[in-house]
Amino acid sequence: MMTFDNSDELYKIARSFPTAKLIIRIHTDDTKALCRLNLKFGASLLAVPNLLAKAKELGLNVIGVSFHVGSGCFDSSAFVDAIRRSRAVFDMGKEAGYEFSMLDIGGGFEDATFDATALTISGAINTYFPDRKETGLRIIAEPGRYFVSKAFSLATNVIARRTPTSAESEAEKQENPDAPSVRRMSIPPPKYVALTSC
C-alpha cells in the first residue's frame, strides 16, 4: 500500500508496482500546525478528479484517501475540515469508478489536546461518513509525535546567548503582535551548559 499526490508517481507506480493498493493524499489546511507538511505533500481537491482519471486509465487500484493536518496540530477544526475534504474525494472516487474503503487521518495529534481532538474527529466522521459501518470503511491514523515526543530530552551546549535590545523587541512586537515576548532574566549567564527538555 502506498500514497500518491501527483501523476508522475502514478506513472512510476504503473511501471514498477501496478498491483499496489493506492491511497490518494490530499492537501489540508495546516497553517496552525507546528510543522507544516502540506507545503510539500498533498493534491489539491481541484487536481483530484484528473489524478483519479489518470489512475483509472493506467489500471491502478486506488482504495482510499489520506491526509496529514501538520505535525503538532493544536486546532482540531483542521481535522474536521480535512475529513470534510476527504468525503468530497470519496465522492470524486465514485465518479471515477472507484469504491474507496480506507480513510487515513494521518498524524498531528498532541498529548495536551488528544481527548478533545479525538472527540471532534469522532463527530466529524459521524457527520461525513454516517454509513461507514455498512460500507465497511476502514479508518486508520499515523500518530507519531503523540507517542514519542515525551520520550526524549535534548541536552545541548549553549555557546552564546543574547538578550534583544528593547528597540529590537519593540520592532518585533510591531511586526508580529502574536509572537511570544522574550523576557529579560536577572539570572547571571550560565557558564557553558544548559539542559533543555523538548
Ligand X SMILES: Cc1ncc(COP(=O)(O)O)c(C=O)c1O
- 42 part of the interface to ligand X, by CB under 6 A: no
The least CB distance from residue 168 to ligand X, in Å, is 33
Q: How far apart are CA 156 and CA 153, in angstroms?
A: 10
Q: How far is the C-alpha of 154 from the C-alpha of 40, rounded, in Å?
A: 27
Candidates 77-85, 136-144, 162-170, 172-180 — which segment interacts with ligand X by CB under 6 A? 136-144
Report d(CA 198, CA 195) in Å as an integer: 10
Residue 4 or residue 146: which is nearer to ligand X going by CB?
A: 146
Q: Which residue is nearest to ligand X (CB)?
A: 107
93 contacts ligand X (rule: CB under 6 A): no
Lookup: cell for 153: 530530552
- Using rule CB under 6 A, residue 27 touches ligand X: no
109 belongs to the binding site for ligand X (CB under 6 A): yes
Number of CB atoms found within 10 A of residue 151's CB: 6
For residues 115 and 43, give the distance between their C-alpha atoms in angstroms, rounded to a whole number: 29
Q: Which residue stretch of 81-89, 116-124, 139-147, 174-182 sits at the interface with ligand X (rule: CB under 6 A)?
A: 139-147
DSSP letter, residue 33: S
The residues that touch ligand X, with contacts defined as CB under 6 A, are 37, 68, 71, 106-109, 142-146
